[in-house]
Amino acid sequence: MTRPTRLLAAVLAVTLLASACGRDDDGGGAAEEGAQLDQGKASGEITVWAMGTEGEKLSVLAEDFMKENPDARVTVTPVPWDGAHNKISTAIAGQETPDVSMLGTTWIGEFANTGALDVVPSDLVSEQDFFPGAWETGVVDGTSYSVPWYVETRLLFVNRAAAEKAGITEAPATWEDLHAAVTALRTKGGAKWGIYLQPGQTGAWQTVMPFVWQNGGDIHDGTRFVLDAAPNVEALAYYESFYADGLSTRDRLREGEPEPKLLSGEIASFVSGPWHIGLLNELGGEGKFELWPMPAGPGEYTSFIGGSNLSVFKEADNRDGAWKFVSYLMRPDVQVRWYQTVSDLPAVQAAWDDPVLADDPLLATFGDQLDTAKAPPPIPTWEQIAAGVDTELEKIAKGATSPEAAATAMQEQASAIGTGN
């Protein structure tokens, strides 16, 4: 073939292939209910993917499950967090999914959108058993695709000595109180920084969204994004005030930096989740820090809820066994055992009545906060929108933009990206 003919052939081939494409317009359907399960014990091979520590330790619970269900065989494959999202995407594309997989709470919208997730059977678990914010992470367009497995929420970790020096006896209840307390931690408590708020970059939205919600703002009102609404701008201005007043460093701390700085008193407080109890105790910080719930803004009293969910795939070879294993993991006693194994906070509220959790004062603070904590809406494009939000937050923290301009930029970017539906 001569060069022009070859080119023509190539163009023709691409055009032909392209004409075979075309999106089906199935639109958003009504809420679905999952098919019921068989009675009786689980049987057969059940394959499970789980990430991080959960992936390494889940076999402990799998053993117990197999004792109760002698005909079932659970195979747990640990998947590293870094590659997990890609691995699951690839598995869906290749229709080689496991029966069950652990999923990040912000991934549900995206994977549900591919049509790869099975709808939660209506007789499996009851919505009322879970923290409401956690349950909603699995619900897309009124249909439940995922069950929360464990949860976490964000609180203020405070250096006790600095708080005592600053004369703060109880946790600040309002925005003004928090700002005043953080100022006191710096001026009277001897800390270089009164607080560390993550100055933008990946995940900073998890620190700032609670402020937005506390102020009555939101991300999406069900029909459109509302990131530039007045309550959001005010929340961003509140966030900015900590940097403008010299209360928080504008430089991002790397992994492993905040903990020693909190214990040494260089940073008097930071916002983080339950895993920091363990991290601080490992550094000999036991008894040297206290936990404050997030303050209530003019709106509601709330924080960010995170954690992980469990989903069953439509292509599961053993759908029945898979959901039975999931429901086993949701039993309050199993949730408590899981807490004892890997320190994951139970998503099932009844598990919190167990003395193991109820008698721990530090945990109780988390338990209270979880009742009202919220998650971002399960929209497939959230990760991308969040990245845009993080960039704007970084600009605010560095003083490179105003809260108004940042909110407008967030809104524009989010609207351009859309919800992916």
CB contact at 8 A, 151 and 131 = yes
Q: Residues interacting with other proteins, by CB under 8 A?
A: 14, 17-24, 85-86, 89, 92-93, 95, 110, 113-116, 200-202, 250-252, 254, 380-381, 383-384, 387, 391, 394-395, 398, 400, 420
β-sheet bridge partners, residue 159: 289
Give me the least distance between CB of 203 and other proteins, in Å please. Answer: 10
For other proteins, give the closer residue by CB, 99 or 344: 99
Give me the least distance between CB of 2 and other proteins, in Å please. Answer: 21
Residue 112 to residue 146: CA distance in whole angstroms = 9
Q: What is the dihedral of CA 111, 115, 117, 122, to 10 degrees?
A: 130
Give me the least distance between CB of 250 and other proteins, in Å please. Answer: 8
Q: What is the 3-state secondary structure (H, E, C) of the chain?
A: CCHHHHHHHHHHHHHHHHHCCCCCCCCCCCCCCECCCCCCCCCEEEEEEEEHHHHHHHHHHHHHHHHHCCCEEEEEEEECHHHHHHHHHHHHHCCCCCCEEEEECCCHHHHHHCCCECCCECCCCCHHHECHHHHHCCEECCEECCEEEEEEECEEEEEHHHHHHCCCCCCCCEHHHHHHHHHHHHHCCCCCECCECCCCCCCCHHHHHHHHHHCCCCCECCCCECCCCHHHHHHHHHHHHHHHCCCCCCCCCCCCCHHHHHHHCCECEEEECCHHHHHHHHCCCCCCEEEECCCECCCCCCCEEEEEEEEEECCCCCHHHHHHHHHHHCCHHHHHHHHHHHCCEECEHHHHHCHHHHCCHHHHHHHHHHCCCECCCCCCCHHHHHHHHHHHHHHHHCCCCCHHHHHHHHHHHHHHHCCCC
For other proteins, give the closer residue by CB, 106 or 335: 106
For other proteins, give the closer residue by CB, 153 or 249: 249
For other proteins, give the closer residue by CB, 24 or 170: 24
Its sign, for the CA torsion 332, 145, 66, 79, is negative
For other proteins, give the closer residue by CB, 124 or 253: 253
For other proteins, give the closer residue by CB, 172 or 199: 199
Give me the least distance between CB of 91 and other proteins, in Å please. Answer: 9
> Which tokens in the block code for residue 313?
């795939």
Give me the least distance between CB of 161 and other proteins, in Å please. Answer: 22
For other proteins, give the closer residue by CB, 123 or 315: 315
Give me the least distance between CB of 52 and other proteins, in Å please. Answer: 18
Give me the least distance between CB of 382 and other proteins, in Å please. Answer: 10
Give me the least distance between CB of 204 and other proteins, in Å please. Answer: 11
Give me the least distance between CB of 410 and other proteins, in Å please. Answer: 14
For other proteins, give the closer residue by CB, 26 or 359: 26
Give me the least distance between CB of 381 and other proteins, in Å please. Answer: 7
Which amino acid is present at 39? Q
For other proteins, give the closer residue by CB, 307 or 380: 380
Give me the least distance between CB of 403 and other proteins, in Å please. Answer: 16
Determine how many CB atoms are found less than 10 A away from the CB of residue 74. 24
For other proteins, give the closer residue by CB, 298 or 420: 420
For other proteins, give the closer residue by CB, 140 or 329: 140
